[in-house]
A = this chain, B = another copy of it.
Amino acid sequence: MRRTGPGVILFGVPLDLTASYRTGTRIGPQQIRAAGEALEDYSLALDRDVRQVKVIDQGDVELPAGNLHGSLAKIEEEVTTVLEKRMAFVALGGEHLITLPLITAALSRYPDLVVLQMDAHADLAERYDGEALTHATVMRRVAELLGPKRLVQLGIRSATAEEAAFAREQTHFFPGAPGDVAQILRILAGRPVYLSIDIDVVDPAFAPGVGNPEPGGWSSGELFQMLSVMADLDVVGMDLVEVCPPYDPAGITAALAAKILRDSLLTFFYHA
């Protein structure tokens, strides 16, 4: 049984402040939406139509320019309003740091929340450039919020030695290729799940437009397969982050994100 009522709130979160290498994720939401217009509403693989999902697109959250703490507060506030309506939500990034205020709010409402992260990078650094709140430390902050073993990490192929050590102790850590998922399902089943997809979990061949391309990732087919395996989870909120259009000259990253969005809506938020 789903904890959230029918319908799902969609919004963009154009935060793009802590990137170290390539910037541009702030125009991610608009490019994903534009790519979505070229996509069929009906999914042949899922035999479902997104017009049957009640999606309310609230547009992009307006963030105060250059103000990190103000931005995080604004995001948390925005999503709290959504949660109070007992609705599920999907946030389009923007950089991965948006996951922190989103999970903070979700955890308030769902104290037994577990988090499923699909990502090339562990994002578990204690500090990054001396800072606590960055795209590279976000899942460390999340893990601290949640407590041990409530964060499941899939697809990770980049970390520091320290992050790897932390992961082995504190998270459920499944580096590399998507493997046997029975164990993952056992951890997550029956609990409220927050799903965070960093688009760089797929290989740069399939998603070149990302902040930190990390070769050796999943194919997009493998990601869709993973989503379909997760179909019975009770996802109460999710994000899709790090689409970076300036490095996506052919638009295939935005097209992939749009399809992940559509299929996630059909998989997790479809009320027959």
Interface residues of A (CB under 8 A from B): 16-24, 26, 38-42, 44-45, 47, 49, 62-68, 70, 97, 122, 128-131, 133-134, 136, 156-161, 164, 175-177, 203-206, 208-209, 212-216, 219-221, 224, 246-252, 255-256, 259
Q: Give CA–CA (A62, B129) in the complex, Å.
A: 8
Q: Give CA–CA (A221, B205) in the complex, Å.
A: 11
Contact (Cβ within 8 A) A249 B249: yes
Q: Give CA–CA (A244, B26) in the complex, Å.
A: 15
Contact (Cβ within 8 A) A255 B214: yes
Q: Which residues of B have CB within 8 Å of A63?
A: 129
Beyond A205-B205, A214-B255, list 11 extra A-B contacts (CB 8 Å). A23-B24, A39-B214, A44-B158, A47-B164, A62-B129, A64-B130, A65-B134, A67-B131, A215-B252, A246-B246, A249-B250
Some 20 contacts from A to B, beta carbons below 8 A apart, are: A16-B23, A17-B65, A18-B66, A23-B26, A42-B160, A42-B164, A44-B157, A44-B159, A45-B157, A45-B176, A47-B161, A47-B164, A63-B129, A65-B128, A177-B221, A203-B219, A214-B259, A215-B220, A246-B246, A247-B250
Q: Which residues of B have CB within 8 Å of A64?
A: 129-131
From B129, B220, B255, contact of A65 by CB (8 A): B129
Contact (Cβ within 8 A) A44 B249: no
Closest 8 CB pairs of A and B: A18-B66, A208-B250, A204-B252, A23-B23, A17-B66, A246-B246, A205-B205, A65-B129
Q: Which residues of B have CB within 8 Å of A221?
A: 177, 203, 216
From B66, B136, B212, B252, contact of A205 by CB (8 A): B252
Question: From residue A226, how far is it (CB to closest CB) to chain B in Å?
Answer: 12
User: Which single residue of chain B is at the shortest CB-CB distance from A37?
Assistant: B21
Question: From residue A213, how far is it (CB to closest CB) to chain B in Å?
Answer: 4
Q: Which residues of B have CB within 8 Å of A247?
A: 246, 249-251
